[in-house]
Amino acid sequence: MPLRGLSTFLAFTTATLGVLLVRAENPRAPRPTPSSTDSASSAESMILQEGDGERFLRRPGGPTTAVGPASIPEFIIKIDKHNGHAEDFVVVAEILKPGAIIAFHKHHNAEEVVVLEEGGATVTVGDKRAVAGPHSTVFIPRETWVSITNSGNNSIHFYGLFSRPGFEDFLRARSVHPGEPLTRLTPQELHRAEEQGHAMFWDTSKGPYPPGAPHP
């Protein structure tokens, strides 16, 4: 064997033996991480039309205000752990009729992006307040008070996208599927729903606005 080839072979053999000895002395040494294909997500691909998704009706007694005593706010969970088996985010949609109010609340565990297709919603988030125009986008950081009111004359298509699962558990806990009894929420049920959904709604007995929220 030529000298250069022999030197290369000896160097390779020495290095290999060194690695084997280290592994034998340290049986807890980390193993190679499986590739992403080995731990493939169980999420399902979906193409959802406007009306597709899991429909819910909000039970009376909750913090969301309808446009009248006979109006039952309806919403759709488009994507979550039950719909599409999403692991990392949630998508909710509803139509806000004129006068409808999403009361002041904040999310403890997730950021949220709200998309409003039509204009006319008065949005208060953090220290900002404005009337959103058509195709507006609102970013809501964690632990930030937010409220949305349809202050216009037309219905508004509303989409809420959450960076982490959680709030859908609140929505499910305080709502029913169409056709199920619309029993009134008790304060205890509402409190448990907030805990399940990592959310907090403002206690209006302390005043109409949370600390720091701008108002007229």
Global pTM? 0.78
**Mean pLDDT on 50-77:** 83
What's the pLDDT band for 65 if we cut at 50, 70, 90? low
- CA-based nearest residue to 210, from 127, 114, 89, 109: 127
Q: Which two tokens stand for residue 154?
A: 């037309």
Domains of the chain, earliest start first: 54-206 (2.60.120.10)
Q: Which residues contact 31 (CB under 8 A, 6 or more apart)?
A: none
Q: Are 82 and 91 in contact (CB under 8 A)?
A: no
What's the pLDDT band for 61 if we cut at 50, 70, 90? confident
Q: Are 139 and 128 in contact (CB under 8 A)?
A: no
Q: Are 62 and 185 in contact (CB under 8 A)?
A: yes
d(CA 155, CA 71): 14
Residues 128-168: tens digit of each pLDDT: 999 999 999 999 999 999 999 999 999 999 999 999 999 99
Q: Are 184 and 151 in contact (CB under 8 A)?
A: no
What's the pLDDT band for 181 if we cut at 50, 70, 90? very high
Residues 4-26: tens digit of each pLDDT: 443 444 344 444 434 333 344 44
